[in-house]
Amino acid sequence: MSDAKSDLRRVALARREALDPEARRRASAAIAAQILARPEFRTAGVLLAYAAMRSEVDPAELVRAALAAGAVVAMPVTDWARRELALRRVGDLDELVTGRFGVPEPSASAEPVTPEAVALVLAPGVAFDPEGRRLGYGAGLYDRLLPRLPAACPRWGLAFEAQIWDRLPAGEHDAPLDAVVTERRWLARRERP
């Protein structure tokens, strides 16, 4: 399955990179508008988000809205020695530093956030399908993080419509998302209690 995922990842990244930057900006705004309207977002005391790199959906508007509402915003920092994501608090997007592989992330001195505190996840990815399967960049970091979150914590993937595939391959360790939000639709696999 590893070769199939690698081939799919290469095709999906090329498809995402081919999107016009202005179209990506508009699509990111449309995705944010859908999420801003959701009660789960408005009531999440601790939001796990990410800073966009390259051509990913940009959640900056959502991060700013959560911070303005007084929510705690956490972002992942990759602990390569342990091959896992540690969560650190972000008070402003200008605080982010460039990590390994050019990934924007909180500094190592930022306040830790425990996975058990997270109330809502906004996850990036390379490709998604309507059943909540997510293809990441290949390290399995989110697949190891998601099971450590509270059972009731919604897990939403942010994707451009061009990133949606009919069905992605999934292994036993791949952690599915509850919904995938694109500029055109909300693909919900299930609602959390």
pLDDT digits (tens, 9 = 90+) for 62-101: 999 999 999 999 999 988 888 889 999 999 999 999 988 7
pLDDT tens string 41-55: 999 999 999 999 999
The Cα 91–Cα 180 span in angstroms is 26
Q: Is residue 63 part of a domain?
A: yes
Containing structural domain, residue 133: 2-188
Q: Is residue 18 part of a domain?
A: yes
Q: Residues with Cβ < 8 Å from 59, sequence gap 6 or more? A: 28, 32, 49, 50, 51, 52, 122, 158
Q: What is the pLDDT of residue 192?
A: 67
Q: Is residue 77 part of a domain?
A: yes
The Cα 140–Cα 126 span in angstroms is 12
Structural domains of the chain, count:
1
Secondary structure letter of residue 29 according to DSSP: H
State the alpha helices, DSSP H only, in 18-158: 21-36, 39-43, 60-68, 141-145
Q: Is residue 67 part of a domain?
A: yes
Q: Is residue 115 part of a domain?
A: yes
Contact 49, 58 (CB under 8 A): no
Interaxial angle between packed helices 60-68 and 21-36, expressed in degrees from 0 to 180 and rounded to the nearest 10: 30
Q: What's the token pair of residue 47? A: 């939001």
Torsion of CA 56, 61, 65, 71, to 10 degrees: 20
Q: What's the token pair of residue 53? A: 């790199």
Q: Is residue 193 part of a domain?
A: no
In the predicted model, is pLDDT for residue 1 greater than 60? no
Secondary element (H or E) of residue 20:
none
Q: Is residue 138 part of a domain?
A: yes
Q: What is the pLDDT of residue 108?
A: 85
Q: Is residue 170 part of a domain?
A: yes
The Cα 62–Cα 20 span in angstroms is 22
> At 106, which CATH number?
3.40.50.10420
Mean pLDDT of the chain: 93
